[in-house]
Structure 1
């Protein structure tokens, strides 16, 4: 007897084989749509394993009964000590992965021998355009090529055997602060790539390129542009324009497609997730309100032409950075006695959505984490019932939202187990204070263009409030029943930013943690069955593959990403200070490999020069620190272990050296670009005085974030 909500076994993975006229063939002959659709689990051919993006492997060689015998088969040290977020691909006995700074490496999947590597040589100063670390989430494969989106906006095709460049295309306007961190997808020979940069003032879109030639085939914009340049505007954008006000195009608009995609070969529909508004504060972006389509929406397109089919907007009039770019997965669920073709997503706004993927109709929604920005979802309209106080952009008053800008779930992939009928969510429970900024002005050079006073939190609260805030900031692995729209079980973590997920037919669920462990859980009840100390935080999702009858599990380890950098020091109060040691880790049964001893976490002492500045400098410096520095160097100047903690800087007491770095760009090649286009020497000196002041305050408290 089938349990309610059980997916039809293999409906997506096997029943659609041969779509688009592809012969199945072998990956040795080249990756095809049929191979991706009918993936048997022995290889990992695309980002989510198959087009449905369920991240469920049918392999059973490693299961609940023997996972305790899992050991390290081999590891490979990486040369990029920043966040590692990629999903490796496994094709024809080789494992291919991207790393931070958009580098690519190819290994023998059995032995770990490095076969080739590729460096696109992203300019170091481009790092200043990234809201959330210089990460890359993976590659795509088609035919005999691999495809990489680089942090500075290029799409590069590589020969899979040699790593040689087959072609390269600029996918963005390099005069604007676009970035690419997401993995491409390929459908019927069309390479699909989006971009990021909404926090800095850009217009979002997704583009399709010919896999063989690199020729651009179509481009789908997610928000309207300058009306003077849109004489032949398609109908979907003309309708969207009616939901905007003011001269929004001058601020970019946002709506970047920076991560999630999925594809249904049977319906021939591509699904994309659309990001936040630019700026966040809608009163500046679109004075007078409006839904601002297609921000924070799931949009269905025809992949052949980029033609709009339908959309569902999760957060109309987005003003909280509530993106809908989080993981999209497809499944066939039994709901109310009827089989439904559904799309599932747990976006930042805290709600889990089940949507009819043929029509875009909302089937059900419920919050998977605590939230206070709504009183629920109106199922008649599919719209959230907003808490009026949450509209800081209208009230002009601060609002502490749950979830906050970090979301109830970020980019980390979920997983689905069809046997259990459960979706597993790497969830975040954390608030964020939205303080509307009066007289805000955009900065198209280096500024964080959100229209929210990022400097308002420059001074940390007193010890009691800080402790209460830390106690309410948590992470969890949540097993969610998408049919009943309720939590089945959870694993509670002390802090957020735990890794993406992998479910297997062996009854297992694999996840890395912020505390630095790689763990296998029982998919039925969440019982921990095995754990490996990885020496670093793991945020990337694992994969699994099979060679010579042996099943392997692999994961990229390396602490990083926005939660590591921005609230990084404060986060350490929850999960402990975690270093970055970037590696590819590969496991199999019976292996007994060991990592070398972890190096000590050496940090400069918190011993700042005496503060000799003025109160006015602290105020000015705090504001500019929040807008220009905090996203990399930590809230309230409490730095992480990945990028320099400025309170401990060796040049903190040297005004000239400080100016050479911040104003003149002396360390641009290392990612510390010049901020002279945005702030002059007086403000840069005020930032230095602010950091000195903060360092002395924290030294008195015993070294907050140390």
Structure 2
């Protein structure tokens, strides 16, 4: 008989987000005591005997591109302010599409959670497949590409300095590429998992950090190689020699022996680049939450980790050359709710008591923005932003679900911006339900998965707040209708942000009025770069991930969906007749051939677009492919917390090929004999923006089989496979 193709669409969505494993809260201002610098051994700094060769502290590429976007947050003070751009409130309506670049790689949270760089009219960009690209700013043409091809959690992204491009791989490496050709020069192995940090190049070092997790050995290139919040996992901060890749110093962000229980406890991940005071050489870092949170079955309410859990939820002032801890402040001791203090620090000068004072401003998922004296760490002001509910609880009832705001994704999740003494802060208002044991989690990994899976992004909102750096007073707040991970970026008299649904906003800095909006063809979980008359928008969530160049006076079109053949250029979106200035699939031959650094899986695990091994029980077809005419092919799309249709009917004894894609975020397509069964018959990981994952399986016994998405089952993302 002929092959039958059932075009069933199965939907399961959002539970994505930056990969920043924590949340933010706080209603009442708190002032933590300043912890003085301690001995080198206590600071957990591991120095290297090899000194760094003398090079300019500020790389010449960065120094020569101050009018463009040479580092992740525009400058070492992390101001994110493009005051030399031609874009302003009077002409922002003239922005149009100059070109687009189709983003090939993807990870659990989409294809782009990064900030592009712009140096000497070249764009440097990294996707969530860890792939790095150099593009021509004017045309979007590819100059070179380095396909690392390792799934990254993010946020990631490149740094440039001394003729090199530095970027994380998706497992445990930092790569140095030739700036002109993309050829790999060295790869440094890191203690912690990589793929969740965008480095800075300064003082002859690459300054970078890692999250708290364990590397999983032997996974395929289509799988995440990191187990978040595994017991005994700490974040790390590094100073790495830019010439050789040697680790000059490293700082372990969990103090001591994991607060007494290294088999269970973990935390203090480092998610964003530091602010660097180029006058004093101090670098200012933020750290994430302790884990498990709130607790697990054997240790509810964080009882496995008594005490404040240093250095979680802290600001750390570290000497850039030696790695010595100069001062630190913890703002949320013994955190139960994943309330990171992780956002990039911002350096500012405030007028306090009639005198100028150098301050450093931090914020995070706890929903607070705090200014510190840059020299001593003394708290100058502390302000609550966004919505708060139950976030000051020190313990949860053992048998009650408590809703907490900010939730696991919220508060201040993404970078802030500063201009003319005003700080602009993007705030997420999204609750998470918690129990004392994280819904009976057995370890820190399950606890964070349950928290993310129980958080419904569709119920959240966001806001942009303007704060006076002298006083901490909130000057205005602009509400946004959906959740936002778009950060804040100042362009003259405007501040830009975006929401997860793909809407870009230009907001008046004067009064918070929305001046202009743009609807991108994909969701946004990244931050723009600005140079001259152009703003680059990484829109990487969904099945049409693009890096979009908007330019004053441009009239190009954004490509729409791929034609069903799946090859070649994309067809335009309905109603759009103009042609982009660059065909998205265009490639320019690099000056040198770049050999991709992707390594084959040691276990031979198939790539996402290949057919993995089938089920553990029943009659798997791996190794004995049935005749083509006998296979029933069922196409499944996972999105938005439900399977659509919720019921799939197949015949017993007939091989069924499931072809599964996701247009938005990470999901699983998991099948068991029943909800209570332990064994998984089918267990596919589905990443957004990647080719379909496929598995052929034969159900021998009639009955109803349980279909669910592992991270979103708590939100009702289940279905039924009926075998007749």
Q: Deviations over 1:457-493 (max 9, x none)?
A: 59xxxxxxx9xx966x211122223333233223322
Aligned to 1:433: 433
Which of 534, 544, 560 is the aligned partner of 1:552?
534
Q: How does 1:468-547 map to 2 (within 5 A)?
A: 473-504=460-491, 506-546=492-532
Distance 2:383 2:195 in 1: 31
SS in 1 for 2:263: helix
Distance 1:645 1:456 in 2: 10
Cα distance change of structure 1 residues 40 and 89 upon mapping to structure 2, 3 Å threshold: closer
Task: Indicate whether 1:591 and 2:554 are aligned.
Answer: yes
- How far off is 1:157 after superposition? 0.2
Distance 2:338 2:694 in 1: 25
Distance 1:162 1:422 in 2: 40
Distance 2:200 2:303 in 1: 32
- How far off is 1:343 after superposition? 1.0
Distance 2:324 2:717 in 1: 55
Distance 1:309 1:152 in 2: 30
Q: Deviations over 1:514-536 (max 9, x none)?
A: 23222322221223333332111
Which of 371, 379, 383 is the aligned partner of 1:362?
379
Task: Indicate whether 1:257 and 2:285 are aligned.
Answer: no
- How far off is 1:208 after superposition? 1.5
Distance 1:437 1:673 in 2: 35
Cα distance change of structure 1 residues 188 and 672 upon mapping to structure 2, 3 Å threshold: farther
Distance 1:659 1:186 in 2: 46
Q: Deviations over 1:174-205 (max 9, x none)?
A: xxxx3431101122111122112354321221
- How far off is 1:442 after superposition? 4.7
Aligned to 1:290: 307
Task: Indicate whether 1:220 and 2:251 are aligned.
Answer: yes
CA RMSD, aligned part only? 4.0
Aligned to 2:188: 169
Distance 2:488 2:340 in 1: 20
2:60, 2:161 within 8 Å by CA — same for their partners in 1? no
Q: Deviations over 1:37-63 (max 9, x none)?
A: 866642221111111001012214222
Task: Indicate whether 1:408 and 2:411 are aligned.
Answer: yes
1:180, 1:258 within 8 Å by CA — same for their partners in 2? no
Cα distance change of structure 1 residues 396 and 314 upon mapping to structure 2, 3 Å threshold: farther
- How far off is 1:310 after superposition? 0.5
- How far off is 1:399 after superposition? 2.9
Distance 2:342 2:377 in 1: 16
Cα distance change of structure 1 residues 654 and 366 upon mapping to structure 2, 3 Å threshold: closer
Task: Indicate whether 1:190 and 2:205 are aligned.
Answer: yes
Distance 1:184 1:207 in 2: 10
Q: Which runs of 5+ in 2 are unaligned?
A: 1-54, 214-227, 563-572, 575-635, 651-659, 696-703, 720-724
Q: Deviations over 1:228-250 (max 9, x none)?
A: xxxxxxxxxxxxx8xx3xx3222
Cα distance change of structure 1 residues 611 and 368 upon mapping to structure 2, 3 Å threshold: farther
Cα distance change of structure 1 residues 31 and 555 upon mapping to structure 2, 3 Å threshold: farther
Distance 2:294 2:716 in 1: 32
Q: How does 1:340-379 map to 2 (within 5 A)?
A: 340-373=357-390
Distance 1:84 1:99 in 2: 5
Aligned to 1:319: 336
Q: Which runs of 5+ in 1 are unaligned?
A: 1-29, 128-132, 227-240, 375-386, 459-465, 560-578, 613-632, 634-638, 675-684, 701-706
Distance 2:714 2:316 in 1: 47
- How far off is 1:329 after superposition? 0.8
Distance 1:487 1:312 in 2: 23
Task: Indicate whether 1:309 and 2:326 are aligned.
Answer: yes
Cα distance change of structure 1 residues 367 and 686 upon mapping to structure 2, 3 Å threshold: farther
1:41, 1:57 within 8 Å by CA — same for their partners in 2? no
Distance 1:417 1:270 in 2: 21
Q: Deviations over 1:114-170 (max 9, x none)?
A: 111111132xxxx5xxxxx73343111110001001121210000000000000011
Q: How does 1:121-160 map to 2 (within 5 A)?
A: 121-122=149-150, 134-160=153-179
1:31, 1:45 within 8 Å by CA — same for their partners in 2? no
**Structure 1 stretch 342-351 or stretch 365-374: which is displaced more?**
365-374
Task: Indicate whether 1:200 and 2:203 are aligned.
Answer: no
Which of 81, 86, 93 is the aligned partner of 1:68?
93
Distance 2:713 2:139 in 1: 49
Which of 644, 653, 658 is the aligned partner of 1:606?
644
- How far off is 1:588 after superposition? 2.1
Distance 2:247 2:168 in 1: 15
Matched positions, count? 546
**Which one has the bigger helix percentage?**
1
Cα distance change of structure 1 residues 401 and 654 upon mapping to structure 2, 3 Å threshold: closer
Distance 2:313 2:236 in 1: 13
1:608, 1:652 within 8 Å by CA — same for their partners in 2? no
2:59, 2:161 within 8 Å by CA — same for their partners in 1? no
2:264, 2:304 within 8 Å by CA — same for their partners in 1? no
